[in-house]
Structure 1
């Protein structure tokens, strides 16, 4: 399906639907008449096969207490094997309501108050708040930006931070939100070998694993160096991004090490009691097994690429000193407007002049990123054209 036909079929006006992105602007912004490109979900309906699976389950079954459906487990294992060349064992799988909750449970299960947790910045702000709210120290290691606007790791600084602060846990993000970087196996091998050398547990957030928009193939942290680090790792993912199902609260938590898995599940049982989310399991099973869902994913990636290419081309011509990071993964564009807008003017320019609600750069690592925005491109090309036109009109060379 071409991008025009896909948008016509699946795009939906979400205002008035209690959408956090479209109806919740008052939560973060000074006005409510903005074009929202902040919250990381899509403005597209889920594939019909997922809608049908949810409706079919509800019509055929009472919504009582349930156990995990083996078909769901098989679907997850099959998807990882076929799409990501990652061989999972059924017993490795446990769950959380979402990835951030899973990370919070890992922090509770494997660290103590005042322990140090490290991450590479800029990075999704919920990592920081999850750790700081649990009274853990956040050790952010800034990445270096290259002339072509990619980010690289200072491995010496990463290791020094670990040894100096006696870091217990590393939160890894692949693909990396907000910079759009898809980590190579070689890069992860260097990071993980440092963690292994200093007995640092690795948490790998792989929620954007299916949203690959550039040339670098996604590699799960579980498979790096033929699984050499899997025994010291917890990987997490969710279809909330891939198939736009964030309101179905379910994430896969994959823990190969039996001792770590038991420790995680014991902590989970202490703070959370529930049975399986049968609606989420039905939706995930359809997404991972139905050809229509995979075709939908292929088509939505084409829309995202088209939006990104349009944004880069138009902004690049009108604002030649703008710095846009290559978006090899996710649907999130990371853009530095520092050549044109002062840090203290960013909110006024975007909210009151451009009439756009972006994710502001300081949300991903503080004032060092105050001239950046993250823009969600998982919407119609018309919306991206409107946003681009407004930025060009109100941000002058």
Structure 2
């Protein structure tokens, strides 16, 4: 992973160079934060000559939207300082929809005005919907912003088509890089006969994630509720969904964990038999990749980039979004057929090793950086798990 210096550049001139990873630097920043944090955790403790240090560039902060403008302004100042000291090799901008689009647009425009190369990494599952609701002048502005980066990194073929066809980015500047996650940090529990079966949901509790559908499905007949435990880990309107669970009479086996940091999610995942994610819209959720890494059977809806990497009844069980009865049937089928659950878990783990390891992901991103920044980051121990923002200041 150590890259060679740019032609005609002395090694000493490359020492101390760095690449900014622009995203909300807080665990509540969701998938973007986790992706950037995984990459930064994977790099070398000390950066050798010819390899850049990946550094976080917080663009949002963890407070309210008004405070986020101050954080963004601070980030832009850091870009100017990096350009003036000559050590900023490039900026890797992680973008989603809504306000993320506008904040990250400011980072892209400022970087290019300073002459700093940019790679734009699109994580949004809903940017295509959001883009189509914008007035034409803002659509034109969005297309212009996407024309500025040296490369646009996307998660799969659906996002690639949107970026090329609607945002009009030339096809040779759009690259597919599939996310990766670290090895599990918690040992898997041993499954014994007639043990409690644990189903896990991880994500923001919302209608888009299919949480109401999941609760309604769990209320249908056919589940062996005496030995069933369902955990929902995530923020959002937790109280409203707790009330719904009580109304449906399933609160005795459904637990709401609230917002959970990465160590807690790792513990829940290690204890889980099935991960369920009945979303209406997704990109390629990291939680699914984490389930594959843990050998946990996955029940999910085939939306976004999911069906391009997973196969029904091979390494996942697909259920149609919004189909409550179908979701109940899919969950019951996996829970009640141990051989199917075992096969999905084993095949999922094999797929993780082939495609979704952090080492593979880091190498793919490093190649993108090498091409467009002339310099790449240096890997460290790719088995390292994500640390929270409270444990490490940016």
State if a TM-score over 0.5 links the two structures.
no
Q: For the superposition of Structure 1 and Structure 2, which TM-score range results when normalised by the shorter chain?
A: 0.3 to 0.5
TM-score, length of structure 2 as denominator length: 0.35
TM-score, length of structure 1 as denominator length: 0.34
